[in-house]
Amino acid sequence: MRGSAVARGWREAAEEALYGPDGFFLRPEGPAGHFRTSVHASPLYADAVARLLCRVDAALGEPAELAFVDVGAGRGELTAGVLRALPPQVAPRARAYAVERAPRPVALDDPRITWTASVPHGVTGLLFANEWLDNVPLDIVEVDPAGVPRLVRVREDGTETLGPEPSRADADWLERWWPLPPEPGFRAELGGPRDAAWAAAVRSLERGLAVAVDYHHARVARPGFGTLTGFRDGRECRPVPDGSCDLTAHVALDACALPGAELLSQRAALGALGVFGGRPPLSLATTDPAAYVRALALAGEAAELTARGGLGDFGWLVQPVGVAARGLLVDVADDEEQ
Ligand SMILES: C[S@@+](CC[C@H](N)C(=O)[O-])C[C@H]1O[C@@H](n2cnc3c(N)ncnc32)[C@H](O)[C@@H]1O
Residues 36-70: tens digit of each pLDDT: 999 999 999 999 999 999 999 999 999 999 999 99
Mutate to test the pocket of ligand 1, among 15, 68, 100 (most ligand atoms within 8 A of CB): 100
Going through the chain in order, the beta strands assigned E by DSSP cover 8-9, 66-71, 94-99, 113-116, 123-130, 140-143, 149-154, 160-162, 187-189, 205-214, 229-232, 235-237, 246-248, 262-265, 315-321
In 3-state terms, what secondary structure has residue 165?
coil
- The closest residue, in CA terms, to atom 1 on ligand 1 is 131
pLDDT of residue 35: 85
Ligand 1 atom nearest residue 32's Cα = 9
Q: Rounded mean pLDDT of 1-13?
A: 80
**231 Cβ below 6 A of ligand 1:** no
Ligand 1 atom nearest residue 129's Cα = 6
**Predicted model pTM:** 0.95
What distance in angstroms lies between residue 287's CA and the mean position of ligand 1's atoms?
44
Provide the terminal-to-terminal Cα distance of the chain, rounded to the nearest Å: 47
**74 Cβ below 6 A of ligand 1:** yes
pLDDT of residue 281: 87
Query: Which amino acid belongs to residue 266?
Result: Q
- The closest residue, in CA terms, to atom 27 on ligand 1 is 74
pLDDT of residue 315: 98
Domains of the chain, CATH where assigned: 36-137+191-216+251-276+313-332 (3.40.50.150)
**204 Cβ below 6 A of ligand 1:** no
pLDDT of residue 52: 98
3 pLDDT higher than 60: no
**Residue 124 backbone phi and psi in degrees, to 5:** -125, 120
Query: Which amino acid belongs to residue 139?
Result: D
**Measured distance CA(299)–CA(283) in Å, rounded:** 15
Bridge pairing between strands 66-71 and 123-130: parallel
